[in-house]
Amino acid sequence: MFRRLLHLLFGLLLLSATALAEQRFPPPDFESGYQLPTPTTPAPRAGLMQYADVVVLLSALALALWLVYRTRSRRGITALSLFSLAYFGFYRKGCVCAIGSVQNVALALCDSHYALPVTVLIFFLAPLTVALFAGRAFCAAVCPQGAIQDLVLIKPLKVPAWLETPLGLIPYLFLGAGVCFAATGSGFLICRYDPLVPFFRFNGSELMIGLGVAFLLAGLFVGRPYCRFLCPYGALLRLATLAAKWRVRVTPDTCTQCALCQHSCPFGAMREPTGMQKREPLKTSRLRLATFLLLLPVLVGLGAWGGSQLATPASKFNRTVKLAGRYVRSLTTPDRFPMELQRVEANPGPVLAKAEEIRQQFLLGATLFGGWVGLVFGVKFISLCLRRNRTDFEPDPGTCFACARCFETCPSERIRRGWIPAELETARSKE
């Protein structure tokens, strides 16, 4: 399994070598003493240094797989998390990252003039590829946002199901909104409103710094609140793990159903055996399931209609649409900043045409986003009606971050490692 995964991941790196190029457009050399403003985001890496980041990413993913599935080591996962936090977080300042790469891919698919960097494509595909085969190893120890939250967690509390279920839908909605805005060239919402990146860059707006502080304070008592209730890339990984062949298993052999693993998981990812759950009558469950299956197309249709109604106000976030709107209003009402409209007044046709094109893109994008929202809610309702048979305590593949905490609490695992005396193993086998 691991050999095939390594071949696949490093194959992506070899393919990317063909896209290596030099920077062709250096900054202009001003002769008037002009000072270039300090950018608020880190500059892109030049040359081979971009591919150094890819090598580190692929190596970290491979090491995370080995630590989760071979050595089953929580200490190893923690050490790799600290390295990822230092490298991808504070050294690379959170850019390039897999979380924001979703927007680059969306823009490349919808804008033929945008050239998607191969390194960004690898950052997008590599964690997803791993998740398709072996779960969320990226979240386990490679993502710096997850690592900084694990670092501050001191006393995890259980989030009640009535609160966790609706909050768990937010990442899917954020994902849809981010893709919609990126595809129309209106901005990268996911990067702009990432509350943890300002800590890596030591700068940011007061709003985002305050939001980041709020997430970290919540992270003292709630395991990874950003990953569970906001991260859009985590939503993609969660969907990918549904097809994973290899999944995290707590016990190496026989589950004693001691529930220690369930108490050790700070993310609410552990699912108890079916026999320990209180279930409603099968007839009631089937009726509810049939109802939500029939409602699914209705929810999608209502969502698409609602999204189309929001297309016009949402399009005004685009700079071109905003500029065209100001020009049209200036024909009857003087504009407060007429200097900014001089370029449009000289030749308004192309700007107005481009603005109309963007409005049409927003109409399509907002309609699809609304349908996506309806689909998310509908599928969630259906999933709550499904019955799953389990004989042991098992982590849910979608919500499990593969952090390895549960391994070290399992009595069978402790016996296998020799942490519990052999005589206790013999006594256990006689019970």
Dihedral of alpha carbons 29, 30, 35, 36, sign: negative
Q: Which of 82-96, 106-120, 270-284, 397-411 has the lowest mean pLDDT?
A: 270-284
Q: Which of 45-54, 214-223, 245-254, 356-365 has the lowest mean pLDDT?
A: 45-54
**In the predicted model, what is the mean pLDDT of the chain?**
82
Does the pLDDT of residue 55 top 90, yes or no?
yes
In this predicted structure, what is the pLDDT of residue 31?
47
In this predicted structure, what is the pLDDT of residue 279?
66
Q: Is 146 helix (H, G, I), strand (E, B) or coil?
A: helix
In tens, the pLDDT along 266-315 reads 998 888 887 666 666 767 778 888 888 898 999 999 999 988 888 888 88
Give the contacts of 31 (CB within 8 A, at least 6 positions apart). Answer: none
- Please give the full DSSP string across 161-192, using - where no structure is assigned: HHHHHHHTTHHHHHHHHHHHHHHTTS--HHHH
Angle 175-270-67 from CA coordinates, rounded to 5° = 80
Percent of the chain whose pLDDT exceeds 70:
84
Distance CA(390)–CA(70), nearest Å, equals: 24
In tens, the pLDDT along 13-50 reads 344 433 333 333 344 444 444 454 544 445 556 567 77
Ramachandran class of 395: left when φ > 0, alpha when ψ lies in -120 to 50, beta otherwise: beta
Question: How confident is the model over 390-405, as a mean pLDDT?
Answer: 85
> Hey, what domains does the chain have and what are their CATH numbers?
1-14+47-245 (no CATH), 253-279+387-431 (3.30.70), 284-374 (no CATH)
